[in-house]
């Protein structure tokens, strides 16, 4: 920009600088899977409920319903009329399933995500256990996100129940640090779905993510830069998105357990322990600095499916059970790829042995594919490269190095002579 252009634009530049402070929101739905289930079973509101175990089967309740009242036409009765007695209790669960999430009433008993169902049963035997229904959660996931983008279009999808939203230039986004817009979004989501969420608004994504937990559930927290020392530094390092259990352990060995301790630690010593990149990132993060932008469009890096068996299986003695499971995983990955419009170029497998040790193998193939038979063939080859003498508890199939189907078609078309174009059109 020339000096004259600069002077001409000075008004705009200074007013932008003064008025537009970077404000980023992180929004996360409250007890998401459980809250969606409570929409169909409102009679369970306020009770300890956990979601996990098997997939949803509507007929699983009928037998008990009929026993309870044989004259009632249960098949046409609304789900909200199902009496509490028909719902399975945690104490009756036998198996190795884990909890995806629990209602806040269940969390009071110390129950939470990723805990084994039988372990949770010991903490709250009377808690109600509902099966997972991913289709339904995805439906509500799409719905709440569409409500957000109608109000604030710069949104980054971060998974089934959370998003980042750039408030900076969105109307209302600067008022009271973002409180006004956060309230509007929270209210609009509730009106449309009856679901509650929690929102944190802060100078960047890293801080917003932490702030969204401050007043959970159904809360809003507004965080300003000058509050970092008072509100962020007293928190444990694990609260930083990007510090996992291993790093936390290493930090503890250095005598660092709180974010403030990390922020004030000797940077050169941190870099010596964690390397240039991660060491510097730790210092930046602890000081609440994060320049990463809100990415409105993202592509998946990989798609995978995995399953944990009811009991550990052995490749030779349980071949008849394992083979169809393996084939089905390949078909599911293939379906996922086709539904989302991708081809994958890296085929991978994952095995977890009965001693919980996990191994993965992958290979890059010449032509990207989403065909279940091809995936099965390459995944089968990979199986030969792992130790199959031990029993396994989990099997997974993954496709990586994804490319959009249309990008591949275009690349193919531009690489081929005219005579071959017809063939490619037919293929894609
Ligand atoms: P979270 O947002 O982590 O948890 P939540 O929405 O259930 O509860 P909170 O109010 O604390 O945000 O995860 C969103 C959903 O993802 C959750 O409802 C179920 C699923 N999930 C799992 O399946 N396994 C897990 O280990 C976790 C953490 C979540
Ligand atoms: Mg959540
Ligand atoms: Mg979440």
Of 52-61, 81-90, 206-215, 336-345, the one with minimum mean pLDDT is 52-61
Give the mean pLDDT of 324-344.
95
Instruction: Indicate whether 52 and 83 sit together in one domain.
Output: yes
Ligand 1 within 6 A of CB of 328: no
Ligand 1 within 6 A of CB of 100: yes
Instruction: Indicate whether 269 and 318 sit together in one domain.
Output: no
Mutate to test the pocket of ligand 1, among 161, 200, 245 (most ligand atoms within 8 A of CB): 161
Report yes or no on whether pTM surpasses 0.75.
Answer: no
At residue 54's C-alpha, the angle toward residues 354 and 192, to 5°, is 130
CATH number of the domain encompassing residue 270: 1.10.150.20
User: Which class for 39: exposed (0-12), middle (13-18), buried (19 or more C-beta within 10 A)?
Assistant: middle
At 347-393, the pLDDT tens digits run: 999 999 999 899 999 999 989 999 999 999 999 999 999 999 999 99
User: Which class for 386: exposed (0-12), middle (13-18), buried (19 or more C-beta within 10 A)?
Assistant: middle
Tokens 């705009």 correspond to what residue?
A: 12
- In residues, how long is the chain? 428
**Minimal-distance CA residue to ligand 1 atom 21:** 100
Instruction: Indicate whether 272 and 327 sit together in one domain.
Output: no
pLDDT at 178 over 50: yes
Of 41-55, 259-273, 290-304, the one with minimum mean pLDDT is 290-304
pLDDT at 239 over 70: yes
Does some domain include residue 257? yes
> Distance from the CA of 306 to the center of ligand 1, in angstroms?
18
Give the pair of three-digit tokens for residue 111.
């129950």
pLDDT at 25: 98
Instruction: Indicate whether 274 and 336 sit together in one domain.
Output: no
pLDDT at 266: 96
- Contact between residue 16 and residue 168 where contact means Cβ atoms under 8 Å apart: no
Question: Of the ligands numbered here, which is closest to the C-alpha atom of 157?
Answer: 3
Q: What is the four-CA torsion angle of 270, 274, 279, 285, rounded to 10 degrees?
A: -100
At 118-162, the pLDDT tens digits run: 999 999 999 999 999 988 999 999 999 999 999 999 999 998 999
At residue 130's C-alpha, the angle toward residues 353 and 70, to 5°, is 130
> Distance from the CA of 272 to the center of ligand 3, in angstroms?
33
Ligand 1 within 6 A of CB of 156: no
Q: How many distinct structural domains can be found in the chain?
A: 3
Ligand 1 within 6 A of CB of 101: yes
Does some domain include residue 196? no
Give the mean pLDDT of 250-270.
97
Does some domain include residue 279? yes
Ligand 1 within 6 A of CB of 158: no
Catalytic residues: 162
Ligand 1 within 6 A of CB of 18: no
Does some domain include residue 188? no
Ligand 1 within 6 A of CB of 30: yes
**Nearest atom in ligand 1 to 51's CA:** 19
pLDDT band for position 18 (50/70/90)?
low
pLDDT band for position 316 (50/70/90)?
confident
- Please report how the helices 405-415 and 418-427 are oriented relative to each other, as an axis angle in degrees rounded to 10: 160
Does some domain include residue 65? no
Does some domain include residue 159? no
pLDDT at 419 over 70: no
Instruction: Indicate whether 276 and 337 sit together in one domain.
Output: no
> Distance from the CA of 33 to the center of ligand 3, in angstroms?
10
> Distance from the CA of 28 to the center of ligand 2, in angstroms?
5
Instruction: Indicate whether 391 and 313 sit together in one domain.
Output: yes
Give the Cα separation of 233 and 133 in Å (integer). Answer: 39
Instruction: Indicate whether 260 and 314 sit together in one domain.
Output: no
Give the Cα separation of 158 and 241 in Å (integer). Answer: 13
Ligand 1 within 6 A of CB of 95: no
Of 12-16, 135-139, 252-256, the one with minimum mean pLDDT is 12-16
Instruction: Indicate whether 343 and 396 sit together in one domain.
Output: yes
pLDDT at 298 over 90: no
Give the mean pLDDT of 209-216.
98
Domain that holds residue 253: 233-288
Does some domain include residue 311? yes
pLDDT at 236 over 50: yes
Give the Cα separation of 248 and 231 in Å (integer). Answer: 20
CATH number of the domain encompassing residue 113: 3.40.1170.60
- Contact between residue 309 and residue 393 where contact means Cβ atoms under 8 Å apart: yes
**Minimal-distance CA residue to ligand 1 atom 7:** 31
> Distance from the CA of 61 to the center of ligand 2, in angstroms?
28
Query: In what helix (H) or strand (E) does residue 66 lie, and over which residues does it extend?
Result: helix 62-68
pLDDT at 11: 57
> Distance from the CA of 102 to the center of ligand 1, in angstroms?
8
pLDDT at 15: 54
**Minimal-distance CA residue to ligand 1 atom 27:** 113
CA of 396: how far to CAs of 315, 329, 371, in Å?
14, 7, 17
**Nearest atom in ligand 1 to 34's CA:** 18
pLDDT band for position 425 (50/70/90)?
very low
At 29-50, the pLDDT tens digits run: 999 999 999 999 999 999 999 9
Instruction: Indicate whether 359 and 323 sit together in one domain.
Output: yes
Average pLDDT, the chain: 90
**Minimal-distance CA residue to ligand 1 atom 10:** 30
In three-state secondary structure terms, 98 is strand
CATH number of the domain encompassing residue 406: 3.30.1490.100
Instruction: Indicate whether 403 and 331 sit together in one domain.
Output: yes
pLDDT at 300: 79
Does some domain include residue 389? yes
**Minimal-distance CA residue to ligand 1 atom 15:** 32
Instruction: Indicate whether 312 and 395 sit together in one domain.
Output: yes
Give the mean pLDDT of 98-124.
96
pLDDT at 258: 98
Give the Cα separation of 350 and 232 in Å (integer). Answer: 38
Instruction: Indicate whether 268 and 316 sit together in one domain.
Output: no
pLDDT at 304 over 50: yes
Query: In what helix (H) or strand (E) does residue 413 lie, and over which residues does it extend?
Result: helix 405-415
């Amino acid at each position: 920009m020339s000096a004259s252009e600069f002077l001409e634009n000075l008004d705009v530049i200074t007013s932008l600088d003064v008025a537009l402070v970077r404000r980023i929101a992180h929004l996360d739905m409250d007890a998401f899977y459980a809250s969606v289930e409570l929409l169909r079973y409102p009679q369970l509101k306020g009770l300890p409920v956990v979601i996990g175990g098997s997939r949803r089967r509507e007929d699983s309740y009928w037998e008990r319903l009929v026993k309870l009242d044989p004259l009632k036409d249960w098949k046409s009765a609304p789900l909200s009329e199902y009496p509490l007695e028909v719902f399975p209790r945690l104490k009756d669960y036998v198996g190795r399933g884990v909890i995806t999430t629990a209602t806040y009433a269940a969390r009071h008993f110390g129950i939470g995500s990723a805990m084994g169902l039988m372990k949770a049963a010991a903490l709250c035997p009377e808690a109600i256990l509902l099966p997972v229904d991913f289709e339904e959660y995805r439906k509500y996931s799409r719905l709440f996100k569409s409500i957000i983008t109608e109000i604030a279009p710069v949104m980054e999808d971060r998974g089934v129940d959370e998003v980042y939203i750039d408030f900076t230039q969105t109307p209302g986004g600067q008022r009271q640090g973002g409180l006004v817009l956060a309230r509007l979004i929270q209210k609009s989501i509730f009106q449309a779905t009856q679901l509650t969420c929690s929102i944190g608004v802060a100078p960047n994504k890293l801080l917003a993510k932490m702030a969204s937990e401050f007043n959970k559930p159904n809360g809003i927290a507004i965080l300003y830069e000058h509050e970092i020392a008072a509100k962020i530094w007293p928190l444990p390092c694990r609260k930083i998105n990007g510090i996992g259990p291993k790093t936390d352990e290493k930090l503890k060995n250095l005598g660092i357990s709180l974010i403030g301790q990390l922020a004030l630690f000797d940077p050169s010593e941190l870099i010596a322990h964690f390397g240039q990149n991660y060491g510097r990132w730790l210092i930046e993060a602890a000081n609440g600095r994060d320049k990463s932008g809100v990415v409105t469009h993202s592509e998946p890096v990989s798609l995978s499916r995995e399953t944990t068996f009811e009991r550990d299986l052995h490749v030779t003695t349980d071949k008849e059970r394992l083979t169809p499971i393996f084939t089905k995983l390949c078909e599911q990955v293939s379906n996922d790829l086709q539904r989302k419009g991708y081809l994958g170029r890296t085929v991978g497998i994952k095995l977890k042995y009965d001693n919980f040790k996990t191994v993965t193998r992958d290979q890059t193939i010449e032509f990207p594919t989403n065909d279940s038979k091809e995936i099965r063939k390459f995944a089968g080859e990979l199986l030969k490269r792992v130790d199959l003498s031990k029993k396994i508890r989990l099997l997974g199939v993954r496709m990586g190095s994804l490319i959009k189907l249309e990008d591949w078609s275009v690349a193919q078309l531009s690489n081929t002579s005219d005579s071959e174009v017809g063939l490619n059109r037919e293929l894609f």
